Structure 1
Amino acid sequence: MGKGQWAIAVQGGAGDIPIDLPKHIKEGRESALRHCLHIGSSALNHSHSSLHVVELVVRELENNPLFNAGRGSVLTTEGTIEMEASIMDGKTKKCGSVCGLKTVVNPISLARLVMEKTPHVYLGFEGAEAFAREQGVATLEPCDFITPANVERLKQFKESIRVQLDNAHPIQNEVKVEARNADGDSQLGTVGCVAIDLDGHLAAATSTGGVINKWVGRIGDTPIIGSGTYSNTYCAVSATGSGEDIIRGTVARDVAALMEYKGLSLKEAASSVVKNGAPECKFGLVAVSATGEIAMPFGTTGMFRACATQDGYSEVAIH
């Protein structure tokens, strides 16, 4: 596929996703991913820019409570919300990031405003909230993001930690806990979108509520350019999974670097990073190259993902 052919990939989180995921969650998320593919593909067909498309698609995912972003964000250890997002234009390398949001309905759109309306790349917490008010973006009260489902999710997570601590060996220094809600679904992850438009321009966007039971003030990989999100003239990447691992591995930038400096194809670069980027490989990514190649590798048990190309190919998958 050469320049002039669009392509898009979407992710809805990676982690310990069980094979027997409840039907309503499985079908709900697959339907949402198909809906996002339709929206993104239609916009690309109508010559919209990749930057516009990735923002548009991520907004849709932020508005869907089945995903860990926006209205579906998981809770901190104090039962509060702290959302994060970033967006990057591959042609110009302009980018914007936000974190610590408690009231903004669509963090990805605020990230784009940071990119376009400020001299900075990254705004967080009170400063980001003040900027949101100044820009007149849609907001809600913090309590409006706290749902009964996420309160129950946090409660069950904390109970699972207590059980494992009670059963741990006295000399054990660390207890590893997989984050699962009442339906057995992993709460590690993000939402994200990457695309190349008809002009051959690449863009990436990622948004998240973070990891369940995170410390207040914890910042993950999603708003860190080069870790959870990156785009240049070679590729666009959005990562998902264990944020700390993604940060340590500078995952998104490493994919681009392997292409730029070693001449690897997108699939070779993405597979190498997922395999070697972190010791336990608890992450995945979606990526699109300047030639329209798509890669969606993951080292977890599953990753909610979807992709489409202008020649009619499309895919929605979990495991």
Structure 2
Amino acid sequence: MRNFRSLALTFVLFTAMMAGNLFSAKASEQDSDPRWSIAIHGGAGTLDPDRMTPERRAAYEAALQGALDAGKAVLADGGSAMDAVKAAIIPLENNPLFNAGRGAVFTWEGRNELDASIMDGRDRSAGAVTGVTTIKNPILLADKVRTDSPHVFLMGEGAEQFAGEQGLETAPPEWFATEARRSALERMKANQLSALDVDHKFGTVGAVALDMDGNLAAGTSTGGMTGKRWGRIGDAPVIGAGTYADNRSCAVSATGWGEYFIRVGVAQEICTRLRYRFQIDLNAAQLTVPKDKEGNPSYYIHSYEMPLSLEAAQEEADIVMSDVKDLGGDGGVILVTREGHALYSFNTTGMYRGRATSDGVNEVAIFAAE
């Protein structure tokens, strides 16, 4: 009897080993067909189609498509998700249509203070800066914090000093300032308005990407809210709130009323929910597998057989954004999953956005119905 049990155990181990080899072969076969995805945003908010002139719409769509093209060119050429995120964000930071870099809103004191963050899904390394005033492309400084400093988050003068040591390009105050943003601050002060009254949209910019190696990355850049005071910091530079990337689930960049996104921890909350949703769906499927006489499953479902669906990812993102809305906040997110789904979720009338994938998807949109 003991020899029979030993023989049976050997057979089980051999079967498991062969199944493992089969899994590796199938996984390798999957990997032979690499894919990439990217999504971008230029802010969400109260957008009215009736107030959008054809010329202004064309300008926004061209800017979004240009940023999308820059990012997808990196991915299509086999480049990294990190490089694609930076490539997409830089032209948005340089475009005065958006509230990031050039075109950033003014603080109460009449300055442009810039925030940015970036995260690598491979090792969850991250970098962030807040309150910088001379850095032409804050997203590049955030990445330098990630790669060339022992820290994650730098602020103000210290961040500027670090940027100087890294040789990053600077710009004078007039580079960032625009008359439209200055006028918004003047109206806010003259009429005692709130930032939401003068900012019809949150012009924060961001990008998320999946590269051909299966790595994810996310980045976000902003000028904050018009008339912000007392060193106010929103969600954009806060890892876990406005930006998060984890190869186990997804990459997220957010735009909206930062105080609420911080309280919910929106970006990490979505990634965590997707990670556990995948495991829950896998476990549920396993329960449907027939069992033998001894109650053992006749077959084990492997993870490659049950990728997280687009519908499941959308559902989890929508739940988190609903939570933000229930608290009183508004805004939106873009995300790319490890399976390559590129999607959006927002609770406003519109969000400047775009996405592209190796499957041929290429689109930009503004209003919710699009």
**TM over 0.5, shorter chain:** yes
2:41 to 2, 8, 11: 11
Task: Give the direction of change, closer, same or farther, for the CA distance of 1:310–1:96 in structure 2 (3 Å limit).
Answer: same
Matches of 1:197 and 1:85, distance apart in 2 = 22
Is the aligned partner of 1:178 residue 2:220?
A: no
Segments of 4+ in structure 1 off by > 4 A? none
Between structures 1 and 2, the one with greater helix share: 2
Which residue does 1:173 correspond to in 2? Answer: none
**Cα offset for 1:295?**
1.7
After TM superposition, the structure 1 stretch with the greater mean CA deviation from structure 2, 137-146 or 48-57, is: 137-146
Matches of 1:216 and 1:317, distance apart in 2 = 35
Matches of 2:337 and 2:363, distance apart in 1 = 17
Which residue does 2:119 correspond to in 1? Answer: 88
Which residue does 1:171 correspond to in 2? Answer: none
1:155 to 186, 190, 200: 186
2:57 to 8, 21, 26: 26
SS in 2 for 1:271: helix
Which residue does 1:53 correspond to in 2? Answer: 84
Q: How does 1:18-167 map to 2 (within 5 A)?
A: 18-20=48-50, 21-161=52-192
Task: Give the direction of change, closer, same or farther, for the CA distance of 1:317–1:251 in structure 2 (3 Å limit).
Answer: same
1:309 to 357, 362, 366: 357
Contact 2:252 2:336 in 1 (8 A): yes
**Cα offset for 1:29?**
1.1
2:271 to 252, 256, 281: 256
Which residue does 1:291 correspond to in 2? Answer: 339
Structure 2 letter corresponding to 1:150: R
Task: Give the direction of change, closer, same or farther, for the CA distance of 1:27–1:159 in structure 2 (3 Å limit).
Answer: farther
Q: How does 1:226-265 map to 2 (within 5 A)?
A: 226-233=240-247, 234-263=249-278, 265=312
After TM superposition, the structure 1 stretch with the greater mean CA deviation from structure 2, 101-110 or 211-220, is: 211-220
Q: What is the TM-score with the length of structure 2 in the denominator?
A: 0.78
**Cα offset for 1:145?**
1.9
Q: Deviations over 1:116-168 (max 9, x none)?
A: 00000000001001111111111012343222222112112333435xxxxxx
Which residue does 1:169 correspond to in 2? Answer: none
CA RMSD between the two structures: 1.6
Unaligned runs of 5+ in 2: 1-29, 279-307
SS in 2 for 1:204: strand
Matches of 1:158 and 1:102, distance apart in 2 = 22
Which residue does 1:204 correspond to in 2? Answer: 218
Task: Give the direction of change, closer, same or farther, for the CA distance of 1:270–1:55 in structure 2 (3 Å limit).
Answer: same
Contact 1:25 1:66 in 2 (8 A): no
Matches of 2:197 and 2:36, distance apart in 1 = 36
Which residue does 1:267 correspond to in 2? Answer: 314
SS in 2 for 1:128: helix
Contact 2:96 2:178 in 1 (8 A): no
SS in 1 for 2:111: coil
Structure 2 letter corresponding to 1:237: V
Structure 2 letter corresponding to 1:161: Q
Contact 2:46 2:349 in 1 (8 A): yes
Matches of 2:192 and 2:231, distance apart in 1 = 20
Higher gyration radius (CA): 2
Matches of 2:324 and 2:169, distance apart in 1 = 37
SS in 2 for 1:71: coil
**Cα offset for 1:41?**
1.3
Q: What is the TM-score with the length of structure 1 in the denominator?
A: 0.90
After TM superposition, the structure 1 stretch with the greater mean CA deviation from structure 2, 257-266 or 87-96, is: 257-266
**Cα offset for 1:206?**
0.3
SS in 1 for 2:270: helix
- Calculate percent identity across the aligned residue pairs: 44
After TM superposition, the structure 1 stretch with the greater mean CA deviation from structure 2, 303-312 or 271-280, is: 271-280
Unaligned runs of 5+ in 1: 163-175
Q: Deviations over 1:187-219 (max 9, x none)?
A: 423100000001110000000000111114111
SS in 2 for 1:70: coil
Contact 1:187 1:211 in 2 (8 A): no
SS in 1 for 2:162: helix
